[in-house]
């Protein structure tokens, strides 16, 4: 049989809440997209079985296309050994410890498998198809519940000696700061992670009479306040909300400025749920970065919002093969 050039790769975005699978071509088009709740499959075996079943169903649908599928890329929230396809541990899915995911999926589907952590995968997607196109050196940040980072150096994803590079969320910002989930103190994530950011805002609202626009947008319910509402309030001129984003930008900007001085990247791409805040975040962030960077790296670096939307995990996972 004539060998057809690999045209498609499966991309799997295995998240704590939702798992997404799609077939991705070399232009980042996504076909046969499937999304399901990760929670619905409450054991490792059930979840793996469901993934394999979906992949095999897509392969069986079209025999010509089956020959054009070159492999399965997987992005997971957790610690991964990229070299041998071993998942050490998943952050939000219990029961996944030391799983040889690439061996298992290869056995069940006959396809080669590459696995990496979710932030590396998003970094690749933005580098190849998104806001980092054309860059040589790039930092990618994902701002959400956690704060993640990925690094492209001289056109290649930089993974570090034991594949854990990019953990910017645990950049120590304050030696006397509050305890972080990781066991350390005063990590960046402990200040700008989604929940910590919101709770800082709530505390301020308690001790001042400010933040009326935030509360109004949350329909009077403190429990409904989230980063999106705080961003909207800032856009409408709420001073407490604007100050909160300025503090956020200061904490993130200091770390980022240090990294820019150190690495001299062309571009910093910022994604994740909290990047949707837009102007209230990006305006002060650019100012802080400008103030704390050296002339040359500070003048050349571009700070951009991530471009790819919710398919970035699928596209990036498939991109492990590109």
Residues that bind Zn ion (CB under 5 A): 170, 180, 182, 184, 187
Instruction: Give least dist CB 195 to Zn ion, A.
Output: 14
Based on CB atoms, which residue is closest to Zn ion, 127 or 191? 191
DSSP string, 108-133: HHSS-EEEEEHHHHHHHHHHHHSTTT
Instruction: Give least dist CB 98 to Zn ion, A.
Output: 23
Instruction: Give least dist CB 175 to Zn ion, A.
Output: 13
Residues constituting the chain = 322
Instruction: Give least dist CB 24 to Zn ion, A.
Output: 33
Is residue 176 a contact partner of residue 191, using CB atoms and an 8 Å limit? Answer: no
Instruction: Give least dist CB 182 to Zn ion, A.
Output: 3
CB burial of 202-238 (b: ≥16 within 10 Å; e: otherwise) equals eebbeeeeebebbbebbeeeeeebbbebbbbbbeeeb
Helix (H, G, I), strand (E, B) or coil at 248: helix
Based on CB atoms, which residue is closest to Zn ion, 184 or 235? 184
- CA–CA gap between residue 118 and residue 126 (Å, rounded): 12
Instruction: Give least dist CB 273 to Zn ion, A.
Output: 19
Based on CB atoms, which residue is closest to Zn ion, 24 or 168? 168
Based on CB atoms, which residue is closest to Zn ion, 185 or 292? 185
Quote the DSSP letter at residue 132: T
Based on CB atoms, which residue is closest to Zn ion, 115 or 180? 180
- From the centroid of its chain, how far is CA 33? 20
Is residue 216 a contact partner of residue 241, using CB atoms and an 8 Å limit? Answer: no
Based on CB atoms, which residue is closest to Zn ion, 22 or 148? 148
């Amino acid at each position: 049989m004539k060998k057809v050039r690999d045209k498609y790769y499966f991309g799997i975005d295995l998240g704590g809440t939702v798992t997404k699978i799609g077939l991705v071509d070399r232009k980042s088009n996504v076909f046969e997209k499937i999304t399901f709740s990760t929670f619905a499959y409450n054991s490792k075996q059930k979840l793996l079985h469901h993934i394999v079943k979906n992949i095999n169903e897509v392969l069986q649908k079209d025999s010509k296309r089956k020959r054009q599928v070159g492999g399965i890329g997987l992005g997971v929230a957790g610690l991964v050994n990229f070299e041998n396809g071993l998942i050490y541990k998943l952050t939000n899915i219990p029961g996944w410890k030391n799983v040889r995911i690439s061996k298992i999926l290869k056995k069940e589907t006959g396809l080669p498998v590459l696995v990496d952590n979710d932030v590396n995968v998003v970094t690749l997607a933005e580098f190849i198809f998104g806001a980092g196109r054309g860059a040589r050196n790039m930092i990618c940040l994902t701002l959400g519940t956690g704060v993640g980072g990925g690094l492209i150096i001289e056109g290649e994803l930089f993974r570090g000696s034991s594949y854990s590079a990019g953990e910017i969320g645990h950049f120590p910002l304050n030696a006397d700061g509050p305890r972080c989930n990781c066991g350390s103190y005063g990590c960046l994530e402990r200040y700008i992670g989604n929940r910590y950011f919101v709770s800082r805002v709530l505390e301020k609202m308690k001790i001042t009479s400010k933040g009326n626009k935030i509360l109004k947008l949350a329909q009077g319910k403190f429990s409904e306040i989230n980063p999106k509402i705080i961003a909207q309030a800032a856009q409408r001129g709420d001073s407490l909300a604007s100050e909160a984003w300025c503090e956020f930008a200061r904490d993130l900007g200091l770390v980022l400025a240090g990294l820019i001085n150190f690495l001299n990247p062309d571009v910093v791409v910022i994604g994740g749920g909290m990047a949707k805040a837009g102007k209230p975040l990006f305006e002060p962030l650019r100012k802080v970065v400008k103030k704390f960077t050296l002339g040359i790296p500070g003048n050349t670096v571009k700070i951009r919002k991530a471009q790819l939307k919710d398919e970035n995990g699928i596209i990036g996972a498939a991109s492990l093969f590109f």
